[in-house]
Amino acid sequence: MTSEKPTMIEFKDVHKYYGDYHALRGITAKIRAGEFFSLLGPSGCGKTTLLRTIAGFEGISSGVVMIDGKDMEGVPANVRPTNMVFQSYAIFPHLTVAQNVGFGLRKDPRSKAEKAQAVAEALDMVGLNGYGDRAAHALSGGQRQRVALARALILKPKVLLLDEPLSALDKKMREQMQLELIKLQRQVGITFILVTHDQEEALVMSDRIAVMFEGEVAQLDDPETLYRRPNSRKVADFIGTMNFLPAKILSESGEKVEVEAEGFGKITLNAEQVSGANSGAASIGFRPETLTILFEGQTAADRESMATVEEVVYYGDMTYYDIKLDGTTETMRLSMRNVFGRPVLDIGTRTRVAWSSGALVLFR
Partner 1 sequence: MRGGWFRVYTIVYLIFLYAPIILLPIFAFNNATTVAFPLVGFTTEWFGQLWTEPALHKALKNSLIIAISSAILATSFGIFAARASTRYRFPFKAPLMGLIMLPLVLPEVIVAVALLAVLLGMGLNLSIFTVILGHVLICTPFAIAILTSAFQSLDQSLEEASYDLGESAVSTFRLVILPLVMPGIISALLITFTISLDEFIIAFFLAGNENTLPVYILGQFRFPQNVPVIMALGTILVCLSIALLATAEYFRRRGIAKTGGKDTGGFL
Q: How far apart are CA 269 and CA 254, in angstroms?
A: 11
Q: Which of 1, 79, 113, 339 binds partner 1 (CB under 8 A)?
A: 79
Helix (H) or strand (E) holding 22: strand 21-32
d(CA 6, CA 68) in angstroms, rounded, equals 9
Nearer to partner 1, 150 or 307 (CB): 150
Among partner 1, ligand ATP, Mg ion, none, what does residue 107 contact (CB within 5–8 Å per kind)? partner 1
# of chain residues touching ligand ATP (CB under 6 A) = 12
Q: Is residue 48 part of the contact set for ligand ATP (CB under 6 A)?
A: yes
The length of the chain is 364
Residue 199 as a binder of ligand ATP (CB under 6 A): the answer is no
Residue from the set 30, 86, 258, 294 that interacts with partner 1 by CB under 8 A:
86
Per the CB < 8 A criterion, the answer to whether 282 and 363 are in contact is yes
Q: Which does 250 bind (CB under 5 to 8 A by kind): Mg ion, partner 1, ligand ATP, none?
A: none
Query: How far apart, in Å, are the Cα atoms of 72 and each of 6, 19, 55, 228?
Result: 18, 22, 10, 35
Q: Is 23 an interacting residue with respect to ligand ATP (CB under 6 A)?
A: yes
Q: Is 161 left (phi over 0), alpha (psi -120 to 50) or beta?
A: beta
Cα first-last separation, the chain? 31
Site residues for Mg ion, window 209-248 (CB under 5 A)? none
Contact status: 21 vs ligand ATP (CB under 6 A): yes
Residues 29-48 that bind Mg ion (CB under 5 A): 48
- Smallest gap from residue 90 Cβ to partner 1 (A): 4
Given the rule CB under 6 A, which of 15-23, 112-120, 219-227, 278-286 is the region that contacts ligand ATP? 15-23
Q: In what order do the strands lie in the sheet with 62-67?
A: 21-32, 7-18, 62-67, 70-71
> How far, in Å, CA of 9 to CA of 220, rounded?
14
Residue 314 interface partner, choices Mg ion, partner 1, ligand ATP, none, CB cut-off 5-8 Å depending on type: none
Q: Report if residue 92 touches partner 1, rule: CB under 8 A.
A: yes
Q: How far apart are CA 173 and CA 201, in angstroms?
A: 13
- The reply to whether 244 sits near partner 1 by the rule CB under 8 A is no
Q: Please state, as a whole number, how many other Cβ atoms lie within 10 Å of the Cβ of residue 26.
A: 15
- For ligand ATP, the binding residues (CB under 6 A) are 18, 21, 23, 41, 43-49, 197
In the complex, which residues of this chain contact Mg ion (CB under 5 A)?
Answer: 48
Chain residues that interact with partner 1, rule: CB under 8 A = 55-57, 76-79, 82-84, 86-88, 90, 92-94, 103-104, 106-107, 137, 151-152, 155
